[in-house]
Amino acid sequence: MPAVFVRGDLFADSTLDALAHGCNCAGAMGKGIAVEFRKRFPRMFAAYKQRCEDGLFTLGDVFVWKDEGRTIFNLGTQKTWKHRAELDAIEKAMRRMVAIAEREGLRHIGLPRIGAGLGGLVWEDVRRAVRRVGEATTVRLVVVETYEKGAPIEPAAI
């Protein structure tokens, strides 16, 4: 199903079945949208940090967390916060994510411009990878390309 690129606030939309974001593999969520995930899902952050410390979360991995009816996909996209995101790791993690989502019957996953902010990648390169993954799945990838605080995602996208 083709990915859609929208305006809005990832956290302001309760119609999405799941949320996803890129993570480093060192256990830090100190900047960018990761801070919001850490604040909103503190138990998820603690479990993610422990997985990283135990060496169980590496590039291309997916750590799935379920909390209060929401599924969160933490995608291993950077070795550490000091390193750039890796496009291959993003695509590998997203493919794993949609395979899990298909098995679990999830229909819509919201995600930010993964890897293109603090991850340092060129958004158009990442966007092409998102499109490739989207074309090979029945799960709708809803990418918040333009952030608007508090604004719900356009209903037509979901």
Instruction: State the pLDDT confidence band at 1, using cuts at 50, 70 and 90.
Output: confident
Instruction: State the pLDDT confidence band at 157, using cuts at 50, 70 and 90.
Output: low
In terms of Cα–Cα distance, which of 110, 144, 104, 99 is closest to 15? 110
Q: Which amino acid, one-letter code, is at 115?
A: G
- HEC string for the chain: CCCEEEEECHHHCCCCCEEEEEEECCCCCCCCHHHHHHHHCHHHHHHHHHHHHCCCCCCCCEEEEEECCEEEEEEEEECCCCCCCCHHHHHHHHHHHHHHHHHHCCCEEEECCCCCCCCCCCHHHHHHHHHHHHHCCCCEEEEEEEECCCCCCCHHHC
Non-local (6+) Cβ contacts of 53 within 8 A are: 27
Q: What is the pLDDT of residue 35?
A: 94
Q: Each residue of 9-51: pLDDT tens digit?
A: 999 977 899 999 999 999 999 998 999 999 999 999 999 999 9
Report the largest interatomic distance among the alpha carbons of the chain, rounded to a whole angstrom: 42
Q: What is the pLDDT of residue 156?
A: 62
Q: What dotted CATH number matches 4-150? A: 3.40.220.10
Q: What is the pLDDT of residue 155?
A: 63
Q: Which of 69-78, 91-100, 117-126, 147-156 has the lowest mean pLDDT?
A: 147-156
Q: Determine the average pLDDT of the residues in 73-90.
A: 95
Q: What is the pLDDT of residue 105?
A: 95
